[in-house]
A and B are shown apart, each in its own frame.
Chain A
Amino acid sequence: MTLIVIAIPVALLIAASAVAAFIWAARSDQFEDLDTPAVRMLNEDPAIQNLGRPDEY
């Protein structure tokens, strides 16, 4: 009994933190575009790396 009273709330806390992590991910648009990243990661090269830093040119 004593064990379960501690174990279940701990388990629920872990679950709650997972849900919180998901909510954070959803709010930061991680689920916005599920197709492109799969292709984009194949294009790992300097042209992409330099994006957003036009000062270099």
Chain B
Amino acid sequence: MTLAVGTNQESLIDESIREKSSQALCTHCGQAMPKSFQTTSVEKFCCAGCEAVWLMLHECGLEKYYAMQTAEGSSPNRPHRNSSQAYLDHAEFQSRHVQTLDDDRLRAELRLDGLKCGACLWLLEALPRLERGLMNSRVDLGRSVIALEWVSAQTSLSKIAQRIAALGYQVRPIGTLASRQEWRRQDRIWLIDIAVAGAISGNVMAIAFALYGAQFSWMDDPTRQFLQWTSVLLAAIAVLWPGRLFLRNAMNAIRARRPHMDLPIALALAAGLIGGAATTIAGHSGVYFESISMLVFLLLVGRFVQFRQQRSARHEIELICALVPQTARRVSPDGSLEEIPTDALRLGDQIEIPAGESVSADGLMQSAYAHFDMQLLTGESCPVRRNHGECVFAGVRLLGESPIRIDVTASGSKTRAAGIAQMVEDAIAKRPPTVEFANRIAGWFLLVVVVMAIAVGICWWFIDPSRVPSVVVAMLVVTCPCALGLATPLTMVSSLGKAARAGILIRGGDVLERIAKRGTIVLDKTGTVTEGSMRVMSVVGDCKSVRLAALLEAHSAHPVGKAIVEHWHNHKHESLFEECASLATPVVCDVQEFLGQGIAGTIDGQRLEVGSVGFVTRSGATCSAELLSGCQSSVVEGFSPALIALDGVVVAVLAIGDPVRIDAADFVRGLQMSGWSVWLASGDLSQITNKVGSALGIAPSQVRGACTPEEKVSIIHSQLLRPVVMVGDGVNDLPAMAAADVGIAVRQGAQATIAHADVALTGGGLRQVMSLIEGAQRTMRTIHINFAISIAYNAIGGTLAALGLISPFIAAVLMPLSGLTVTAVALRMPRFSSSADPLRSGVRQ
């Protein structure tokens, strides 16, 4: 900790606080107290905000919150200060997000960040006690949404939001009122359809059992007819009401002359219903109504799950938009600043962007120059300079210390960030509907069975009319697609569970099906095959100067500066630096940062400069030949050199770069050996990308540098070898991940990335991708085995039944047997086992 004494760098202070954490903790937030803080009272607060919240809660009798937090094992959030929420009261915002209830009560739903446990829920729902005029507050923990109802005469949404911020939670706008109501309506329709289909299939099944029983004991004709007519009626309701979805899709498919998976399903439903009704009218027994209504029910449940997944994906798209600030500071004609929602921005408005914050609209630079972190949009890891009159995009972060002004050229849905969100949405919509293996087969299977049953019935009509009913029923019972329907879901569910235990989170079973085939895999560079952060790769020259450079760079927030500080921290205990440990920490002064170039300062009277070659040599610093060649070799290796100069003499050259992950090369080789085509696409400079590509053994023709998110999508689309798998970590990879057959998010990236990925890897290792692919292949093999078993069973049983060799009763006994076999196979097969086990240790580190 010698470093912390002489410098004022914030992170170092944080560290020193943490070391003393055993001494004093803030009564409110439970964090360590700053060292300078002196108090004699029992209650200690780390800041005025915490104290205010503590007093507020005690005045309103809500101090129970602390006891509840402790019981839940968490601690209160620190209050968010100086967050102006004025935009929430803007007319533009209110018209989109606020609902007017009767007698001037208003209602709004907002996204809530910082929710942790039941105590948070309790506190937030007790908000009406703290805020006069707030009538009701309801929290939805699952979706992190808070619904507020207030009287507009007594309070305003911004006041309530400020109160929530003071408690340490943050609200953000979510989808507009109209879209949320539409979602709710669709949800209700699904639930009702499923309930109706479920109730009908249960009842029809009960009646069907009675009719099966009639085959081997006596039942009078009127009773049988009555039962059959009841089944016809119920099945007709099931097909026409909840089943209308399939009929409608099939009609559309016929009209568009395009095959659709719902076509065979609708045909089977119609054939079963009409055929059944016809035999019933003719006075014969023909009972397959329970299969029809059960099929409607099960398929609806499957579709509903899929619908919910898609909807939550759409919900998360709004999070990308949320990466762009929702508010902007507009410069009024009189020069004052006004906070308004970005939706209210007009073309030509001038806005100010505070230092360190994200730009809220696309626009033209009005300030002389500034540096931006463009990672969100392009994936570029280095800061980019923009001069007066040049374009900046919403969502990029302003680096440096001074605010800038821009003239708005596009805002809201017209910005480039919104364009990316739109691309993601389009890609999801365009993705062909996943026709799972089981679904593809199920519709045709049912159709074949119904047609064959009718054919067999007709044959037996000529052989022995009295035996027609029992033969047809036996055949239908024995070929009941239960085993077929059971095989896939069971195997998938057990696979997904095993994968999750290995740290691989998979969105749905269809992902496994798509990735099981060999195809093309496109890897993002930054953060996926590389570590994703700058590191000091090598040092040439005087190693001890790194210590001085680290002291200086502690004043900089630049990635290179951070890399140097980190390098020093990691190496200061080495013998090389032993003598430094005893040295007094020198005082750094006159620090001057030249953004994008370097940093300069004075240490112990010596002039120290750290930065790019151009920066350090601009004032004629001398550089020995050895260091110069070190410089050149680091460029050749794809790294950027950083020079350290003391009093005009270059003493050391650091090679700064983003190192390739240790397991990356093995991973690529493994994939190529098993027949995958591997591509590398990066938003980073072509030179660096090519270097990484060749280090990984990827052919230069399959490496693309300086890719925009749009170009990544076109790389995905241009692949002929399917499936195309995209592995990435950033928001800039999102459109490509959505366009690919399978999108895999490596490590804990941006929340929006995780939310959209088909697969999220929590361990960060590329080996998990390998494990995923192998596991998917094993899973599909199991499913195919199960299909073979149940189809063989159905073929043999069906044939025996068609020949009149088994009675309906024996068929009903045999039916569960195939189900049991399939279940046993599904649960016995190991998946994600051998290759996943070593990874588990990797997950934990």
B204 to chain A minimum Cβ distance, whole angstroms, is 10
Contacting residue for A43 out of B121, B137, B191, CB 8 A: B121
Please state if B195 and A26 are interface contacts (CB–CB under 8 Å).
Answer: yes
Contacting residue for B136 out of A19, A36, A52, CB 8 A: A52
Using CB atoms, name the residue of chain A closest to B150: A54
Using CB atoms, name the residue of chain B closest to A12: B203
A40–B196 Cα distance when bound, in Å, is 30
Using CB atoms, name the residue of chain B closest to A8: B230
A14 to chain B minimum Cβ distance, whole angstroms, is 10
A56 to chain B minimum Cβ distance, whole angstroms, is 10
Point out the residues of chain B lying under 8 angstroms from A23, CB to CB.
192, 195
Contacting residue for A39 out of B64, B141, B203, CB 8 A: B141
- A5-B226, A23-B192, A45-B64 known; A36 and B141 CB under 8 Å? yes
Please state if A1 and B62 are interface contacts (CB–CB under 8 Å).
Answer: no
- A26-B191, A51-B136 known; A1 and B121 CB under 8 Å? no
Contacting residue for B187 out of A4, A31, A45, A50, CB 8 A: A31
A42–B136 Cα distance when bound, in Å, is 19
Contacting residue for B223 out of A4, A22, A39, CB 8 A: A4
A50–B125 Cα distance when bound, in Å, is 10
- A18-B199, A54-B135 known; A47 and B129 CB under 8 Å? yes
B794 to chain A minimum Cβ distance, whole angstroms, is 31
Using CB atoms, name the residue of chain A closest to B222: A1
Interface residues of A in 25-52 (CB under 8 A from B): 26-27, 29, 31-36, 39-40, 42-43, 45, 47-48, 50-52
Using CB atoms, name the residue of chain A closest to B134: A54
Question: How many B residues face the partner with a CB closer than 8 A?
Answer: 41
Point out the residues of chain A lying under 8 angstroms from B334, CB to CB.
none
Using CB atoms, name the residue of chain A closest to B131: A54
Point out the residues of chain B lying under 8 angstroms from A42, CB to CB.
118
Point out the residues of chain A lying under 8 angstroms from B227, CB to CB.
4, 8
**At the interface, yes or no: B122 with Cβ under 8 Å from chain A?**
yes
Point out the residues of chain B lying under 8 angstroms from A12, CB to CB.
203, 230, 234
**At the interface, yes or no: B188 with Cβ under 8 Å from chain A?**
yes
A39–B71 Cα distance when bound, in Å, is 14
Contacting residue for B140 out of A11, A18, A36, CB 8 A: A36
A31 to chain B minimum Cβ distance, whole angstroms, is 6
Using CB atoms, name the residue of chain B closest to A33: B140
A12–B125 Cα distance when bound, in Å, is 43
B446 to chain A minimum Cβ distance, whole angstroms, is 25
Please state if A51 and B125 are interface contacts (CB–CB under 8 Å).
Answer: yes
Interface residues of B in 91-148 (CB under 8 A from A): 118, 121-122, 125-126, 128-129, 132-143
**At the interface, yes or no: A15 with Cβ under 8 Å from chain B?**
yes
Please state if A47 and B121 are interface contacts (CB–CB under 8 Å).
Answer: no
Interface residues of B in 49-71 (CB under 8 A from A): 61-62, 64
A50–B230 Cα distance when bound, in Å, is 52
**At the interface, yes or no: B590 with Cβ under 8 Å from chain A?**
no
Point out the residues of chain B lying under 8 angstroms from A43, CB to CB.
118, 121-122, 125
Using CB atoms, name the residue of chain B closest to A37: B141
Please state if A29 and B184 are interface contacts (CB–CB under 8 Å).
Answer: yes
Using CB atoms, name the residue of chain B closest to A42: B118
A17–B202 Cα distance when bound, in Å, is 15
- A1-B223, A40-B125 known; A52 and B118 CB under 8 Å? no
Point out the residues of chain A lying under 8 angstroms from B191, CB to CB.
22, 26, 31
A8–B129 Cα distance when bound, in Å, is 55
Please state if A47 and B132 are interface contacts (CB–CB under 8 Å).
Answer: no
Interface centre among B64, B133, B192 (most CB of A within 10 A): B192
**At the interface, yes or no: B220 with Cβ under 8 Å from chain A?**
yes
Point out the residues of chain A lying under 8 angstroms from B62, CB to CB.
47
Question: How many A residues face the partner with a CB closer than 8 A?
Answer: 33
Please state if A15 and B199 are interface contacts (CB–CB under 8 Å).
Answer: yes
Point out the residues of chain A lying under 8 angstroms from B230, CB to CB.
8, 12
A16–B138 Cα distance when bound, in Å, is 33
B417 to chain A minimum Cβ distance, whole angstroms, is 30
A20 to chain B minimum Cβ distance, whole angstroms, is 10
Point out the residues of chain B lying under 8 angstroms from A50, CB to CB.
128-129
A50–B220 Cα distance when bound, in Å, is 64
Point out the residues of chain A lying under 8 angstroms from B202, CB to CB.
15
B631-673 interface bits toward A, Cβ cutoff 8 Å, 1 = contact, 0 = none? 0000000000000000000000000000000000000000000
Please state if B188 and A35 are interface contacts (CB–CB under 8 Å).
Answer: no
Please state if B195 and A22 are interface contacts (CB–CB under 8 Å).
Answer: yes
Using CB atoms, name the residue of chain A closest to B132: A54
Interface centre among A11, A31, A54 (most CB of B within 10 A): A54
Contacting residue for B184 out of A32, A39, A54, CB 8 A: A32
Please state if A51 and B128 are interface contacts (CB–CB under 8 Å).
Answer: yes
A45–B62 Cα distance when bound, in Å, is 11
Point out the residues of chain A lying under 8 angstroms from B135, CB to CB.
52, 54
Point out the residues of chain B lying under 8 angstroms from A8, CB to CB.
207, 226-227, 230
Point out the residues of chain A lying under 8 angstroms from B187, CB to CB.
31-32
Please state if B133 and A54 are interface contacts (CB–CB under 8 Å).
Answer: yes
A42–B117 Cα distance when bound, in Å, is 12
Interface residues of B in 177-233 (CB under 8 A from A): 184, 187-188, 191-192, 195-196, 199, 202-203, 207, 220, 222-223, 226-227, 230
A34–B61 Cα distance when bound, in Å, is 29
A26–B134 Cα distance when bound, in Å, is 28
Point out the residues of chain A lying under 8 angstroms from B140, CB to CB.
32-33, 35-36
A28–B467 Cα distance when bound, in Å, is 52
B26-40 interface bits toward A, Cβ cutoff 8 Å, 1 = contact, 0 = none? 000000000000000
Please state if A4 and B226 are interface contacts (CB–CB under 8 Å).
Answer: yes
A35–B208 Cα distance when bound, in Å, is 38
A31–B183 Cα distance when bound, in Å, is 13
Please state if B188 and A48 are interface contacts (CB–CB under 8 Å).
Answer: no
Please state if A47 and B195 are interface contacts (CB–CB under 8 Å).
Answer: no
Please state if B122 and A57 are interface contacts (CB–CB under 8 Å).
Answer: no
Point out the residues of chain B lying under 8 angstroms from A26, CB to CB.
188, 191-192, 195
Please state if B203 and A11 are interface contacts (CB–CB under 8 Å).
Answer: yes
Contacting residue for B203 out of A15, A40, A54, CB 8 A: A15
Point out the residues of chain B lying under 8 angstroms from A54, CB to CB.
128, 132-135
Using CB atoms, name the residue of chain B closest to A11: B203
A47–B149 Cα distance when bound, in Å, is 17
A6 to chain B minimum Cβ distance, whole angstroms, is 11
Point out the residues of chain A lying under 8 angstroms from B137, CB to CB.
51
A3–B143 Cα distance when bound, in Å, is 51
Using CB atoms, name the residue of chain B closest to A19: B199
Using CB atoms, name the residue of chain B closest to A43: B122
Point out the residues of chain B lying under 8 angstroms from A33, CB to CB.
140-143
A10–B475 Cα distance when bound, in Å, is 32
Please state if B125 and A35 are interface contacts (CB–CB under 8 Å).
Answer: no
Q: Give residues in B with beta carbon < 8 Å to A.
A: 61-62, 64, 118, 121-122, 125-126, 128-129, 132-143, 149, 184, 187-188, 191-192, 195-196, 199, 202-203, 207, 220, 222-223, 226-227, 230, 234
* Sample (22) of A-B pairs whose CB atoms are under 8 Å apart: A4-B227, A8-B226, A8-B230, A12-B203, A12-B234, A19-B196, A26-B195, A29-B184, A32-B140, A32-B187, A33-B142, A34-B142, A35-B141, A36-B140, A36-B141, A36-B142, A45-B64, A47-B122, A47-B126, A48-B125, A51-B136, A52-B128
Known: A15-B202, A54-B128, A57-B132. 18 other contacts (CB 8 A): A1-B226, A4-B226, A5-B226, A8-B207, A15-B199, A19-B195, A23-B195, A26-B191, A26-B195, A31-B191, A33-B143, A36-B142, A39-B121, A48-B125, A51-B137, A52-B128, A54-B135, A57-B129
The 6 closest A-B pairs by CB, nearest first: A35-B142, A47-B126, A43-B122, A39-B118, A22-B195, A26-B191
